[in-house]
Structure formats: structure tokens, C-alpha cells
């Protein structure tokens, strides 16, 4: 247990591209009495930088942000700090995004539509080294697992899933390379690998698959 926790304060970094959302989250978390928000970020890139600059117990981060986004930021942070405790706080309420984030190493997954206490509980559980998932999201994950219908998204790494999501949203190879800060050749290789893994041959099939699994709205 860290000195911060022994002292009774959990140090939190907030990462969300909406200033109003961050302001509301700061008030919510600090009203709990045992949490201090020590820094804020408005992009995935900034979240990576701030996490390395500030000593914190928990990072609360959105998935949908400009640039590399939350899932890629999560991957990068855990590459350099494997013990980082990240709670995803997002509007994405389907099991696909949740499974991807948790598989990538997130300590918590909370829907923005959840009760306020859910986020407080998730931060406290993450700080204690535990995992917390919003009840509604947990139920969807369970239902998916017992449905007998395999989710092809589970076969994708976090990087592959992020490329898949960007392609489904209509991004080109150049855009994907810029967003994820990879070469165009690497982005193109990911596209080819995705088609093979998912058994799709063109952009239309990719979009249909993304809609079917809730990665984008129809």
C-alpha cells in the first residue's frame, strides 16, 4: 500500500477531452473525501505524458479522445508502467469495448451512465489493487460469454482493435498512421492482418461487422 493510501488520500489523474466532464468528475471524486485529483489531461498523448510526470495511484480515463485515444494510451502506459492502475470511464457500454480494455490491463470499467457511486467505488477498488466493472457492463460480458456466439473482437489485440475501430469509422491508412503514430506500412499491415483474422475481404464487410458488435453505431 502506498504512502498516499496510508495517509488516506488516493491521488488521481483525470483524462477526458471535455473540460466540463473533467470539472464534474473532479468535484465528484473530491467530495468523496479520500481522493485528490492531482492532474488532468485532454488527450491520450497527454495522459501518457502526465502519467509519467506525476505520482498517482489511479488514472481515470475516457476511451474516446482525440489522437491516439484511451485504449492506445492504456496500452502505452502499461508498457512502461505495468503496475499502473487505470479505470476506464466511458460512454461505450457494450461488452466488446469493456473486454478489450480489461484484457489490455484496465483495473476498472465504468459507464458514464452509471451511478456516481460506481466511479468512486471503481477508483477505491483500483487503488486497493482490485478490479471493478459497472454492474450493467458486467452483466453484458456474462451474457456474451454464455450466449455461445464467439465474439471475433476478442481475437484482436488492443492495437488491432484500435485500427479496426478507426477503419470502421472511415479513417484512411494515412489518418490511422498519424493517429497511432506508426508508419503507413505498419498501418497497412494491420489492415491486411485484420482481414485475415476476421475473415473479411472489403470495407463494407468490415463496417457491417463493426456495427454488429457495437464498435460503431449503424
Sign, CA torsion 82/83/89/93: positive
Mention the CATH class of domain 152-212: mainly alpha
pLDDT at 7: 56
Bridge-partner residues for 132, per DSSP?
108
Domain ranges of the chain: 3-145, 152-212
pLDDT at 4: 46
Distance (Å, whole) CA 132 – CA 124: 9
C-alpha cell at 152: 471475433
C-alpha cell at 117: 457511486
pLDDT at 1: 41
Mention the CATH class of domain 3-145: alpha beta
Sign, CA torsion 175/181/187/191: negative
pLDDT at 116: 82
* Pick from 173, 165, 167, 174: nearest CA to 214: 165
pLDDT at 218: 65
When computed from its CA atoms, the radius of gyration of the chain, rounded to whole angstroms, is 17
pLDDT at 213: 85
C-alpha cell at 205: 464487410
Mean pLDDT by 10 residues, the chain (218 residues): 57 95 93 92 93 91 88 93 95 89 95 88 96 92 77 85 92 92 93 92 92 83
Amino acid at each position: 500500500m502506498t504512502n498516499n493510501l496510508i495517509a488516506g488520500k488516493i491521488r488521481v489523474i483525470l483524462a477526458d477531452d471535455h473540460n466540463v466532464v473533467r470539472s464534474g468528475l473532479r468535484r465528484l471524486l473530491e467530495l468523496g473525501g479520500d481522493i485528490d485529483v492531482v492532474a488532468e489531461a485532454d488527450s491520450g498523448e497527454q495522459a501518457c505524458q502526465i502519467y509519467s510526470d506525476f505520482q498517482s495511484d489511479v488514472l481515470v480515463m475516457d476511451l474516446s479522445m482525440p489522437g491516439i485515444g484511451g485504449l492506445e494510451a492504456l496500452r502505452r502506459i502499461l508498457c512502461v508502467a505495468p503496475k499502473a492502475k487505470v479505470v476506464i470511464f466511458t460512454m461505450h457500454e457494450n461488452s466488446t469495448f469493456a473486454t478489450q480494455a480489461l484484457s489490455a490491463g484496465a483495473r476498472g470499467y465504468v459507464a458514464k451512465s452509471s451511478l456516481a457511486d460506481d466511479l468512486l467505488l471503481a477508483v477505491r477498488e483500483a487503488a486497493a489493487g482490485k478490479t471493478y466493472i459497472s454492474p450493467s457492463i458486467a452483466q453484458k460480458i456474462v451474457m456474451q460469454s454464455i450466449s455461445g456466439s464467439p465474439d471475433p473482437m476478442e481475437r484482436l489485440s488492443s492495437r488491432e482493435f484500435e485500427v479496426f475501430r478507426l477503419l470502421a469509422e472511415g479513417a484512411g491508412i494515412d489518418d490511422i498512421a498519424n493517429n497511432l503514430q506508426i508508419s503507413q506500412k505498419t498501418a497497412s499491415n494491420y489492415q491486411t492482418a485484420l482481414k485475415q483474422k476476421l475473415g473479411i475481404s472489403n470495407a463494407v464487410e468490415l463496417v457491417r461487422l463493426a456495427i454488429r458488435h457495437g464498435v460503431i453505431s449503424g
